[in-house]
Amino acid sequence: MFVTPGYAQETAPAEGGAHGEPVEDGAHAAAAEGGAHTEQAEGHGSFPPFDASTFPSQILWLAITFGLFYLFLKKVVLPRVGGILEDRSARISGDLDEAARMKAEADAAVAAYEQELAEAKAKANAIGQQANEASKAEAEAARKKVEESLGKKLAAAESQIATIKSNAMREVGSIAEETSAAIVQQLTGGKVDKAAVAAAVKSVRG
């Protein structure tokens, strides 16, 4: 129990009066005892972290605290952080795989589209070539048909012309015979031999 100087001064006269001792001697003893207790209180009243006598316990508690903190980090914090990193890594890896798969599908779709486009162009060219050849064949057949029709019409016209010419020549011969007979009759005034006139006209037409 610590006794302060004030307490010592208050209690000293009573103790002196009780024991029949002089008051001055009791006051000096109390003052000496109070100074000793004050020095002891001042020694124990310093800041604990700077007190050399508490260094071992501070180091022990620091080691215990650090160990507990290390175990907390190792058992709780680091596994959670590692799990989060693994989840993110797995998610990123999955996203990259999905992107690669989608890119491969897009490339395959583009290749299939280009192949179909090339096949469509080839078919269109083939159809166009066939249509061109067919149109040429149809045009050639139509031309031949028209030429054939024109040839038949020309032959019919030539035959008709020949018939008309033949008829005209016969009529010309008859007209020439009649005209010659009339002229001879007018000149001679007698009867005309038609057979002789016809022979004469025929020899002239030769």
pLDDT tens string 75-127: 999 889 988 999 998 999 899 999 999 999 999 999 999 999 999 999 898 89
Residue 135 lies in a domain: no
Q: Choose the final residue of a domain: 24, 42, 60.
A: 42
Domain count for the chain = 2
Residue range 127-133: mean pLDDT, rounded:
87
pLDDT at position 96: 92
Distance CA 15, CA 11 (A): 6
Predicted model pTM: 0.34
Question: How many percent of the chain have pLDDT more than 90?
Answer: 22
pLDDT at position 131: 86
- Residue 190: give the domain boundaries: 169-205
Residue 54 lies in a domain: no
pLDDT at position 14: 42
Secondary structure of residue 192 in the 3-state scheme: coil
Residue 88 lies in a domain: no
Higher pLDDT, 30 or 178: 178
Residue 3, burial from CB neighbour count under 10 angstroms (0-12, 13-18, 19+): middle
Residue 197 lies in a domain: yes
Task: Place 15 in a pLDDT band, splitting at 50, 70 and 90.
Answer: very low
Residue 27 lies in a domain: yes
Residue range 19-32: mean pLDDT, rounded:
45
Residue 114 lies in a domain: no
